[in-house]
């Protein structure tokens, strides 16, 4: 996208003032989530295992795509932008790499604290830390993370799987 | 509402850093609009006249009502909060007094510039200034303001009246 005059103006905002603006913006338009999904895994009898997908996203109408590019190129210096399939006019900026989430996203919002989304963010940060400390590789740690995940985003969309779905047969996944 | 720990934390953020956060938040969750409505006016043959209603609003889920109270009590020190009739779980913080809009809201966002909503805000600011200079009391000025208003918020909800509806019989309103 051709960089517009707003992009150039935002670029002149630096340091703490820029970061507070971004924090306020993300408080409204961003989300921190951890989805739980099933992934093919032939070593288990059932043929799949549960995995955790932490995700940071910011949404914006296509007219404001430049602001997502600004977040990607000038603020966080990481992440991807793609058009949502529905609604079609919305774009999403996203970061899903766990290490980058820890180093760029979690550390940013620990310093420039959110307002209305701080509580969910703090749980998200605990999940990212538990994963970086490899707690999810043992059943007890995985269950602890699942409990954290289910305490987040109470008003978000319905989860595909219930906690019972996940807990059932979970022990097989952690048997050697 | 009982002030929560987030409220207390936000209160510790001061000056430019606080104001940039608020600007970022409003960039996502706020709106600047001018509605055109008909008001009873017995001195005209048709019995009503066109009026302009400038409005600054910030929306939030009832769980985050505290943040709207923070905007009202600690940031802008003006405005009202009310529950929307639909959707029921959303509250609105609003400022509609024209003089207060000029002194507290327009001046704030001229200093702490928005990103994605700056263009609409700048038109809003022109409307507020034109009104404060009483341009709307003459037909030519009123029409100029209507043109500005119709160039705002292209993606917002449909307007009740078209520009043609408003222009029709407008001259009667400005005849002495």
Q: Which two tokens stand for residue B87?
A: 């959707």
Quote the minimal CA–CA distance from A117 to chain B in Å: 9
* Test mutation, A14, A19, A57, A116, chain B, max B CBs within 10 A: A116
Q: Which two tokens stand for residue B62?
A: 């009832």
- pLDDT at B26 exceeding the cut of 90: yes
A96 secondary structure, DSSP code = -
A24 part of contact set with chain B, CB < 8 Å: yes
Q: What is the mean pLDDT of residues B47-70?
A: 95
Q: Which two tokens stand for residue B167?
A: 């222009």
- pLDDT at B96 exceeding the cut of 70: yes
Which is nearest to B72 in space by CA: B99, B103, B105, B102? B105
Q: How far apart are the C-alpha atoms of B68 and B59, rounded to whole Å?
A: 8
Out of A16, A25, A70, the one facing B24 most closely (by C-beta) is A25
| Rounded alpha-carbon distances, angstroms, from residue A68 to A137, B26, B90, B131, B152 | 34, 16, 26, 35, 22
Quote the minimal CA–CA distance from B110 to chain A in Å: 13
Q: Are A145 and A136 in contact (CB under 8 A)?
A: yes
Model confidence, pTM: 0.92
Q: Are B1 and B91 in contact (CB under 8 A)?
A: no
Give me the domain span that covers residue A102.
5-173
Chain A residues whose beta carbon lies within 8 Å of the beta carbon of residue B3: none
* Test mutation, A5, A14, A17, A110, chain B, max B CBs within 10 A: A17
Q: Judge if the upstream peptide bond of residue B49 is cis by omega within 30 degrees of 0.
A: no
How many Cβ pairs within 8 Å bridge chains A and B?
86
Which ipTM score applies to this complex?
0.91
A153 part of contact set with chain B, CB < 8 Å: no
Q: What is the mean pLDDT of residues A138-152?
A: 94
Q: DSSP letters of chain B? A: ----HHHHHHHT--HHHHHHHHHHHHHHHEEEEEEEEEEE-TTSTTSEEEEEEEEEEEEEEGGGHHHHHHIIIIISS--EEEE-SSSTTEEEEEE--HHHIIIIIIHHHHHS--STTHHHHHHHHHHHHHHHTTGGGSHHHHHHHHHHHHTS-TTSPPPSS-HHHHHTTHHHHT--
Which is nearest to B36 in space by CA: B26, B48, B47, B44? B48
Q: Are A56 and A130 in contact (CB under 8 A)?
A: no
Interstrand relation of A90-95 and B48-61 (parallel, antiparallel or unpaired): unpaired
pLDDT-based confidence at residue B1 (cuts at 50, 70, 90): low
User: For residue B38, what is the domain's CATH number?
Assistant: 3.10.28.10
- Test B64 with A20 for CB contact under 8 angstroms: no
Chain B residues whose beta carbon lies within 8 Å of the beta carbon of residue A6: 115-116, 118-119
A64 secondary structure, DSSP code = G
Q: Are B143 and A31 in contact (CB under 8 A)?
A: no
pLDDT-based confidence at residue A156 (cuts at 50, 70, 90): low
pLDDT-based confidence at residue B165 (cuts at 50, 70, 90): confident
Q: How far apart are the C-alpha atoms of A133 and B153, rounded to whole Å?
A: 47
Share of chain B above pLDDT 70, in %: 97
Radius of gyration of chain B (CA): 18
- pLDDT at B7 exceeding the cut of 60: yes
A6 part of contact set with chain B, CB < 8 Å: yes
A109-123, B51-65, B146-160: which range is least confident on average? B146-160
pLDDT-based confidence at residue B160 (cuts at 50, 70, 90): confident
Chain B residues whose beta carbon lies within 8 Å of the beta carbon of residue A64: 115-116
- Test B115 with A67 for CB contact under 8 angstroms: yes
Residue with more model confidence, A57 or B6: A57
- Test B16 with A13 for CB contact under 8 angstroms: no
Chain A, nearest residue to B12 by Cα: A113
Total number of domains constituting chain B: 1
């Amino acid at each position: 996208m051709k960089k517009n005059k707003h992009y150039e103006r935002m670029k002149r905002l630096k340091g703490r003032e820029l970061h507070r603006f971004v924090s306020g913006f993300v408080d409204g338009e961003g989300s921190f989530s951890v989805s739980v999904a099933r992934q093919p895994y032939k070593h288990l009898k059932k043929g799949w295992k549960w995995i955790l997908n932490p995700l940071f996203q910011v949404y914006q109408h296509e007219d404001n795509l430049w602001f997502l590019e600004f977040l990607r190129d000038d603020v966080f210096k990481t992440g991807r932008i793609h058009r949502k399939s529905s609604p079609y006019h919305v774009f999403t900026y996203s970061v899903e790499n766990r290490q980058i989430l820890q180093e760029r996203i979690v550390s940013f919002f620990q310093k420039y604290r959110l307002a209305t989304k701080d509580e969910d963010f703090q749980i998200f940060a605990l999940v990212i830390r538990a994963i970086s400390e490899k707690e999810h590789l043992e059943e007890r740690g995985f269950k602890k993370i699942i409990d954290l995940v289910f305490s987040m985003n109470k008003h978000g969309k319905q989860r595909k799987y219930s906690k019972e779905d996940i807990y059932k047969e979970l022990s097989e996944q952690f048997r050697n």
